[in-house]
Structure 1
Amino acid sequence: MKEDFLHYIWQHHYYRKADLATTEGEPLQVMRTGYYNTDAGPDFREAIVKISDVEWSGSVEIHLRASDWRRHNHQTDLKYDQVILHVVWEADEQIVRTDGTVIPMLELKDRVDTALIYTYKQLQEARSAIPCANVWPAVPEITKTMMLGRALTERLELKGQEILHLHASYNHDWEATAYHVLCKGFGFKINQVPMERLATALPVTVIRKAQSIVQVEALLFGQAGFLTDAETDYTHQLSNEYKFLSHKYKLQGTAMQRHHWNFMRMRPANFPTVRLAQLAAVLASRQHFFTAILEAQTIKQYESLFMVPVTAFWQEHYTFSPEPAKAQSTMGKGSAHNLIINVAVPLLAAYSQFASDRAYLEKAIELLERVKEASNKITRLYEELGWKAQTAADNQAALGLYKNYCQPIQCLQCAIGNKILRQNMLTQS
């Protein structure tokens, strides 16, 4: 048993209240459980209890054993002097405040429904990837829908918070932040790390000064380390441009090397050289990318932000090899949708928090609902239970549910887990 289970029992009053009394035999009435505290100090604040004829206001501390109070050194911590009730599973010793006064204690081990304990242990000890897999079908659809919606919102808010940290590191420059997120997005799964490194090696302030797409390509490919061997007229042109620009903007010694990039086990259309050409086309097509993210309205407009035609060379090549190949003039719609999910949506979620305007978060969710996305190994776990993802919003919701609740077995914080615990308790009591 874990302490958070006792938090759950206390918060939801899932204990027998008949003849409720402290371990000293004094009648006890819980008038308010208090507010759960995630910061330092007692577990629940602003609780109200009545012991005998005296009403007390203060905090409640919860432990599996009363002796945990002493093991955690609460008897010497002034923050815990405000505790009016010590709730424990097992009262193995008496506990006191810093001044030596005894704290009233409530023991729960004989007051909790055995069905609730049994179900909790089943969830905690489940061997399946989804702890509640064997009872998932019995959970009402409305509960699952509500929890998935919550998981989606929480996932977007977490992504937004990550970008807000990045935003702070860029001195609160949204365009610079968006540039970094855009570069990372163009790395897709395999080349995210080198793309982020490139965003640092080539600041957006330099990109903004480029006079043409040729200069943008020269800066990107030069800083990425791809212009060391000039085999074509096009490569010579970029190399000469890069030498001039790197000297002008003092970029010497900051370039990456070709071995930083991954080409293995990927289709030519995903080669980093192709993605850099596509990134150059996007960057050259507009000066204010972040503004465009905020202002776009339709899925078509968001697709057009990323599906920008590349230059002539890259319409016939996948690398700098002189040998031509049949390549795409723009990235495919699937890749554009990937960038909508991993670039546009997180930026909207971040700005929603920054501006305290939920409209941008709702816009992000609407975008996800308009994008179809293939299932993955996580969503397939839920599909095996009878739930089917239809959109990118569903996929993101499933990922949020799995990573924040199912994988760490946080069933007590999950509406689905709560429903299962309550159902079993009512059924078997």
Structure 2
Amino acid sequence: MKEDFLHYVWQHQYFDKTNLQTEDGQAVTVLRPGFRHSDAGPDFPNARLQLGEVEWNGAVEIHLKASDWYRHQHQHDLKYDQVILHVVHTADEPVYRTDGSLVPVLALAARLPAGLLVAYEQLMEQTADKSVPCAPLLGQVPELLPTLMTGRALLERVEQKADVLAALYENLGQDWEATAWHALAAAYGFQKNSEPLSRLAKCLPLTILRRHRHDTRQLEALVFGQAGFLAEHEDTAHDLYVQSLQQEFSFLRHKYNLGGTGLAAHDWNFLRLRPANFPTVRLAQLVGLLHARPALFDALLTAADVPALEQFFAAPVPEYWRSHYRPGKPSKVPALGRGSMHVLITNVVVPLRVAYARHLGNPELVEAAVALLDHLPAEHNHVTDLYETLGFRHRSAADSQGLLALSKGYCTPRRCLHCSIGSRLVHPNGVAR
């Protein structure tokens, strides 16, 4: 048994409450179990209980054994002085607050329904070699439940991404345009180069780039220069265009005091990337976007549908980078593909719109933003393919994102009791929570 099981039992009050008493003989009435959270401090704050004749407001702490209170050092932590009830499976010893007062203990070992524990153990037995612990048991739940849970996981995933952008917005002085630039820059790294592109956005503010958006050569000099790709080497020794960019960057670096703030060529990842995904290619695409789309945030916010967003991302790259994967290396370079555009819509446009809609307090805009994913094709990878073989709906990017969130947030960390499917399988009366 894991402590998570007792959290589930207490949260939903799935135990026998007949003559409920603490270990020291006080009658217990649960008026409000509290609200489960994962932050530092007691497990269930905002609880309301009646112990004997006295009504208490405070927190409930959950452990398998009462002695875990000491193992976790709660006796020295002032945050745990607010605990009004210590709920455990086994009460093996009394526990005390920092001031020496006794913490009332409620033991649940003899009060757990046998069917509940058996169902829980049956579910946990599936975790040893299964990516989806409940896979063998899915036939026991209504067909609609996996779809509902996937939708819930999708919303959680989008909200988490929106939280990141909302924090970025605050850190950038509440500037939505700058937020869009930083979000796009990181996303154009497509995982392998997200970190260096994020650093580039920090050391090359949009306020500087805006001043040169009408001149692609100056934009190229700033972007590729700060990225560390204009350092002279044997491939560029006779490339007149790169040399002109070097000269332009030398002037602009001095003008904006950029010396020492940029990246170096070795900061970027080329290994095991197709040439079309080289960071130099992505930088050229960003330059094209900055030149052709002067108001990034407004355009991302107002594009009516997926085709309009695809048109936004289809901004032409500067001529030199249509025939060079790297400085001084001639070769034909394809334009940004639709698949990459859809990744950008999923990872930038939707969460950015959600963050802005929450900023405005407009839930309808949140729904409209998430609905964009229904109009993008489903993603296919080993995670989504696994869920599809198990019968989960997988028709659009909304389903794909939900399945990825389900895997990362619930199945892989074995958070089965937080999932509607796992809750349905464990609950003694088959009622999903």
TM-score of the aligned structures, taking structure 2 as reference length: 0.87
Change in 2 beyond 3 A, CA 1:267/1:88: closer
* Greater mean deviation of Cα atoms: 413-422 or 198-207: 198-207
1:122-142 per-residue CA deviation (whole Å, 9 max, x = no partner) reads 434512111212112332232
1:322-352 per-residue CA deviation (whole Å, 9 max, x = no partner) reads 64x4333x32211111111122122223223
1:11-66 per-residue CA deviation (whole Å, 9 max, x = no partner) reads 212112344444455654434333335555544345444566x3533334433223
Pick the aligned partner of 2:225 from 222, 226, 244. Answer: 222
Change in 2 beyond 3 A, CA 1:13/1:287: same
Residue 215 of structure 2: aligned partner: 212
Asked whether the 8 Å contact 1:56–1:84 carries over to 2, the reply is: no
Change in 2 beyond 3 A, CA 1:288/1:17: same
Q: Which amino acid aligns with 2:287?
A: A
Residue 375 of structure 2: aligned partner: 370
Change in 2 beyond 3 A, CA 1:255/1:98: closer
Residue 7 of structure 2: aligned partner: 7
Asked whether the 8 Å contact 1:58–1:83 carries over to 2, the reply is: no
Q: Which amino acid aligns with 2:208?
A: V
How big is the alpha-carbon RMSD for the aligned residues of Structure 1 and Structure 2?
A: 2.8
Structure 2 CA distance for aligned equivalents of residues 212 and 139 of structure 1? 60
Cα distance, 1:81 vs structure 2? 5.8
Structure 1 CA distance for aligned equivalents of residues 430 and 378 of structure 2? 39
Structure 2 CA distance for aligned equivalents of residues 361 and 233 of structure 1? 49
Residue 327 (1) aligns with residue 326 (2):
no
Residue 353 of structure 1: aligned partner: 358
List aligned pairs for 1:91-110, cutoff 5 A. Answer: 91-95=91-95, 104-110=104-110
Q: SS of 1:208's equivalent?
A: helix
Structure 1 CA distance for aligned equivalents of residues 329 and 62 of structure 2? 71
User: How many matched pairs?
Assistant: 423
Asked whether the 8 Å contact 1:69–1:95 carries over to 2, the reply is: yes
Change in 2 beyond 3 A, CA 1:307/1:78: closer
Residue 344 (1) aligns with residue 343 (2):
no
Q: SS of 1:135's equivalent?
A: helix
Change in 2 beyond 3 A, CA 1:16/1:113: same
Residue 413 of structure 2: aligned partner: 408
Residue 153 of structure 1: aligned partner: 155
Change in 2 beyond 3 A, CA 1:27/1:233: closer
Structure 1 CA distance for aligned equivalents of residues 410 and 56 of structure 2? 33
Q: Which amino acid aligns with 1:236?
A: Q
Q: Which amino acid aligns with 2:216?
A: I
Q: Which amino acid aligns with 1:306?
A: F
List aligned pairs for 1:39-188, cutoff 5 A. Answer: 42-50=42-50, 54=53, 56-59=55-58, 60-71=60-71, 83-95=83-95, 104-125=104-125, 126-127=127-128, 128-188=130-190
Cα distance, 1:207 vs structure 2? 0.6
Cα distance, 1:418 vs structure 2? 0.5
Structure 2 CA distance for aligned equivalents of residues 68 and 351 of structure 1? 44
Change in 2 beyond 3 A, CA 1:100/1:199: closer
Cα distance, 1:281 vs structure 2? 0.7
Change in 2 beyond 3 A, CA 1:282/1:51: closer
Residue 260 of structure 2: aligned partner: 253
Q: SS of 1:34's equivalent?
A: coil
1:301-324 per-residue CA deviation (whole Å, 9 max, x = no partner) reads 11122111223333333333364x
Q: Which amino acid aligns with 2:205?
A: P
Cα distance, 1:284 vs structure 2? 0.5
Cα distance, 1:82 vs structure 2? 5.6
Residue 394 (1) aligns with residue 396 (2):
no
Change in 2 beyond 3 A, CA 1:318/1:6: same
Structure 2 CA distance for aligned equivalents of residues 376 and 232 of structure 1? 41
Structure 2 CA distance for aligned equivalents of residues 346 and 298 of structure 1? 15
Q: SS of 1:110's equivalent?
A: helix
Asked whether the 8 Å contact 1:63–1:69 carries over to 2, the reply is: yes
Pick the aligned partner of 2:389 from 384, 387, 394. Answer: 384
Q: Which amino acid aligns with 1:311?
A: P
Asked whether the 8 Å contact 2:147–2:393 carries over to 1, the reply is: no
Asked whether the 8 Å contact 1:28–1:50 carries over to 2, the reply is: yes
Change in 2 beyond 3 A, CA 1:169/1:96: closer
Cα distance, 1:158 vs structure 2? 1.1
1:131-164 per-residue CA deviation (whole Å, 9 max, x = no partner) reads 2121123322322222211111111111112222
Q: Which amino acid aligns with 1:6?
A: L
* Greater mean deviation of Cα atoms: 98-107 or 87-96: 98-107
Asked whether the 8 Å contact 1:46–1:57 carries over to 2, the reply is: no
Asked whether the 8 Å contact 2:242–2:328 carries over to 1, the reply is: no
Q: SS of 1:56's equivalent?
A: strand
* Greater mean deviation of Cα atoms: 195-204 or 74-83: 74-83
Q: SS of 1:63's equivalent?
A: strand
Structure 1 CA distance for aligned equivalents of residues 237 and 97 of structure 2? 77
Asked whether the 8 Å contact 2:350–2:369 carries over to 1, the reply is: yes
Pick the aligned partner of 2:281 from 250, 257, 274. Answer: 274
Q: Which amino acid aligns with 1:294?
A: L
* Greater mean deviation of Cα atoms: 285-294 or 220-229: 220-229
Change in 2 beyond 3 A, CA 1:247/1:86: closer
Structure 1 CA distance for aligned equivalents of residues 113 and 80 of structure 2? 30
Change in 2 beyond 3 A, CA 1:40/1:311: closer
Pick the aligned partner of 2:247 from 240, 256, 276. Answer: 240
Residue 293 (1) aligns with residue 303 (2):
no
